[in-house]
Structure 1
Amino acid sequence: MAVPEGHPEGVSPVNQGHSRAPAVRIGLSPETRRQVWQKLMWVGVWLAFMSAPIGDLLDGSHTTVATVLGWIGLVGFVTVYLALVLRHTARPMTTATVYSLLALLAAVALALSLTLGSSWLVLFVYVSVSCGATLSLALATWAILVTTATMTVIGTQVAHVGDVVPGLAIPALLGGFAMTGVRHLIRTSVELREARATVAQLATNEERLRMARDLHDLLGHSLSLITLKSELAGRMLPDHPDQAAKEVADIEQVGRQALADVRAAVSGYRRMTLPAELAGARTVLNAAGIQADVPTEAPEGLPAAEEEVLAWVLREAATNVVRHSGARHCTVTLEACQTLDGRFLELRVQDDGKPRPGAPAPDPGHGLTGLRERLEKVSGVLEADAGRKGFTLTARIPLIPDASGIPLVSGP
């Protein structure tokens, strides 16, 4: 009973050779050789239940013709089963194809069980699992029950009922209904991945539209004015060169102002924000196989300079966790705190990474030194603590009761 496309498969280590917990690739085909081998191992483990019919063919109790036909039927059965369970869960087949393959599986299981004996009843368990993996819940329920009942009826004719029910009927029911849950999980995961991709595309389109609107608002009037004055200067140049020179001077002034507006807009696009960095930290930590506990919202009304500094701290901290910590869990907190020196906004990034045996003690490095320098410009402080339970980076900036005159964050 092969596990479908949703089994855990490893991902390549993230920098520095640190091992990570394997990521779950639900609904995706293997992309690397390692993932292919992991897939085959899972398939091989579940196909070990085929030992009964294989042993029946190898013990020489059947004629040569029956043995050859048995091998052909078994190989064909396994091929169809894998195509249904593995491929259909990730890339659905047409309804007609699914029904046809299920009917073929049931026919082969029925024929081999009736002709070659009770050892082949285990094929009905795989038929039940295939029904659970490919049919809707309502159809799968009936198909699993009918398959199990058919196997039980045939089994009681050739074996004792006490051997058939616990050894085959119960696994057929459990395997079939369990696979319905796995199928639902895979479908949900695929739909969630598609929804995330759609949201990301919509966000990208919205950002492009915003940039287009900003450029139009910034340059539309200026370029129109430049065009108009250029035409006017061209007409004035032969007869009124002094007035034409004045128009050219106006063109230069408008052009310089347009350039300044564009630079200001680009600077605004490039400015780092806490909401964007919180989302980015969550994404990069999860991609590295690190369980991330990151706030979903940032404080409002934070001065732009302070927000940008905290955004830099968060980006550097998340990068260090991924590259150097070997952590499995990382917690990010962002909250106001009261100290003897006044109120501060505190950003804390804590991981549970442990230094490798024999590794040198961590040093501040250029990254933390640069962060300290940035924080000093906004009267903030940076603390780093490398303890036995992991590494903690804390940044604090003072909260100004009256921030008049300081530009506040107004969102994108």
Structure 2
Amino acid sequence: MQADEERRFPEIAKEPENRRQRLVKALWISIWLFYLSAPVTDLVSGGHSPGVRLLGGLGLAAFVAWYLVLVFRTARQMAVRKVLVSLAVLSAQATVLSLTLGREWLVLFVYVAISSGAALPGEISRWTVPAAAALMTATAFAVPGGDAYLASLLIPALMGGFAMAGVRAMIRTTIELRQARATVAQLAANEERLRMARDLHDLLGHSLSLITLKSELAGRMLPGQPEAAAQQVADIERVSRQALVDVREAVSGYRRPTLPGELAGARTALAAAGVVADLPAEPVADLSEEAESALAWSLREAVTNVVRHSGARRCTVALADRQTLGGRFMELTVSDDGAGGPAVHGNGLTGLTERLEAVGGALSAGPAGKTGFRLVARVPLGSPS
């Protein structure tokens, strides 16, 4: 994917990253200096005095050197004020050289327009490029025979300047795209870490609570009821093995708990904790895999909290098909007669809320009257709204 995106942008839009790329860019820019053959030819065979040739050569060398500096800095930020001052100096050089040495020097304005588009932001270069073309036009009419050269220079000046402005915008877009892609990759990694943390909490919180409970039971039974203690130890081994399988599946990203499986697990956990369980038969409903998985996680978290925190003597689990103004919903209710208290939205309830919202559902949890606690998870039947 990254390679495909890289191919959408031409190499000219990339900042040189090593010596070879800088050399290639230098050669590419140098090719376009052949348009300076007209002023060079004028210096050599234009009939100027040696002093004029010397001054003209120095002026041309200074012009080309600063032009190259501006174009080479297209991918790196320069102060706008410094660029404007440099362009003013280049424009003054082009004007003076054209007025004193002749119409062959009008081509320097093309380079002024190009460097303007390359070194200035688009909102400024859209004015400076036409300004350079206008100054060239005014100078051409002041130079003998300059109007004959104007037609062949005006279009290159405008097209070259705006083309370089487009290249600069492309460079900026490429850099922003790379930064955005890196940000998206970082966000995706963070989201995956959150998902893994949520899954492992849901998996291990339930299994370790059950292992702890059964270990305590086995410890109490061991002196007088060795056979019952052995049964609890066997259950601990089974739960541990299942927890290992669940963690492996969760890490692989393939685990999708089901309501029948979680109802069976809830029955075992509640019975081991000495809590009377009132559970429904296996549900039959038009639930998508994602919605059923969200309800299954909700049931697991709720039963784990009953076993670990509530001190309840009875737990009731109900599944109901509800018709509301927003459509049909499958509603899971887990209530107990324990100590109750306000809902503390830790990792478990926060993770459940995220899971349910992802499938168009909702979660509510809180005290059920004077004593007890109730958790209600709701998911849409059929297509999520």
Q: Give the deviation of 1:220 after TM superposition.
A: 2.8
User: 1:179 is matched with which residue?
Assistant: 164
Q: Deviations over 1:148-179 (max 9, x none)?
A: 22222222333314423213233222322333
2:89 pairs with 104, 114, 126, which one? Answer: 104
Bigger shift: residues 56-65 or 127-136: 56-65
**One-letter amino acid of the structure 1 residue matched with residue 60 of structure 2:** L
Q: Tell whether 2:44 aligns with 1:44.
A: no
> How has the CA–CA distance of structure 1 residues 126 and 268 changed in structure 2, closer, same or farther, with 3 Å as cutoff?
same
Q: Give the deviation of 1:211 after TM superposition.
A: 1.9
Judge conservation of contact 2:218–2:232 (CA < 8 Å) in 1. no
User: 1:169 is matched with which residue?
Assistant: 154
User: 1:55 is matched with which residue?
Assistant: 41
Judge conservation of contact 1:132–1:180 (CA < 8 Å) in 2. yes
> How has the CA–CA distance of structure 1 residues 36 and 130 changed in structure 2, closer, same or farther, with 3 Å as cutoff?
closer
**One-letter amino acid of the structure 1 residue matched with residue 206 of structure 2:** H
Q: Tell whether 2:66 aligns with 1:80.
A: yes
Count of residues in correspondence between the two structures: 253
User: 1:16 is matched with which residue?
Assistant: none
1:269-288 residue pairs with structure 2 within 5 A? none
1:160-239 residue pairs with structure 2 within 5 A? 160-226=145-211, 232=216
Judge conservation of contact 2:122–2:169 (CA < 8 Å) in 1. no
> Could you tell me how far apart the structure 2 residues matched to 1:221 and 1:61 are?
97
**One-letter amino acid of the structure 2 residue matched with residue 258 of structure 1:** A
Report the aligned-residue RMSD.
Answer: 4.1
Q: Deviations over 1:305-328 (max 9, x none)?
A: xxxxxxxxxxxxxxxxxxxxxxxx
> Could you tell me how far apart the structure 1 residues matched to 2:151 and 2:76 are?
34
> Could you tell me how far apart the structure 1 residues matched to 2:92 and 2:151 are?
23
> How has the CA–CA distance of structure 1 residues 237 and 139 changed in structure 2, closer, same or farther, with 3 Å as cutoff?
same
**One-letter amino acid of the structure 2 residue matched with residue 113 of structure 1:** S
Judge conservation of contact 1:98–1:134 (CA < 8 Å) in 2. yes
> How has the CA–CA distance of structure 1 residues 60 and 212 changed in structure 2, closer, same or farther, with 3 Å as cutoff?
same
User: Larger helix proportion, structure 1 or 2?
Assistant: 2
> How has the CA–CA distance of structure 1 residues 218 and 59 changed in structure 2, closer, same or farther, with 3 Å as cutoff?
farther
> How has the CA–CA distance of structure 1 residues 251 and 111 changed in structure 2, closer, same or farther, with 3 Å as cutoff?
farther
Judge conservation of contact 1:113–1:120 (CA < 8 Å) in 2. yes
Q: Give the deviation of 1:29 after TM superposition.
A: 2.2
Judge conservation of contact 2:102–2:143 (CA < 8 Å) in 1. yes
> Could you tell me how far apart the structure 2 residues matched to 1:248 and 1:97 are?
80
> Could you tell me how far apart the structure 1 residues matched to 2:152 and 2:135 are?
15
**One-letter amino acid of the structure 1 residue matched with residue 162 of structure 2:** F
User: 2:242 is matched with which residue?
Assistant: 257
> Could you tell me how far apart the structure 1 residues matched to 2:136 and 2:237 are?
89
**More RCO (CA 8 Å, sep 6+):** 1
Judge conservation of contact 1:152–1:164 (CA < 8 Å) in 2. no
User: 1:93 is matched with which residue?
Assistant: 78
3-state SS of the aligned residue for 2:15?
A: coil
User: 1:312 is matched with which residue?
Assistant: none
> Could you tell me how far apart the structure 2 residues matched to 1:240 and 1:121 are?
110
> How has the CA–CA distance of structure 1 residues 160 and 213 changed in structure 2, closer, same or farther, with 3 Å as cutoff?
same
Bigger shift: residues 74-83 or 54-63: 54-63
Give the number of the structure whose alpha-carbon radius of gyration is greater: 2
> How has the CA–CA distance of structure 1 residues 120 and 259 changed in structure 2, closer, same or farther, with 3 Å as cutoff?
same
Gaps of 5+ in 1: 1-11, 13-20, 271-300, 302-412
Bigger shift: residues 45-54 or 153-162: 153-162
Judge conservation of contact 1:132–1:144 (CA < 8 Å) in 2. yes
Q: Deviations over 1:164-215 (max 9, x none)?
A: 3213233222322333344444444443443333333322322222222222
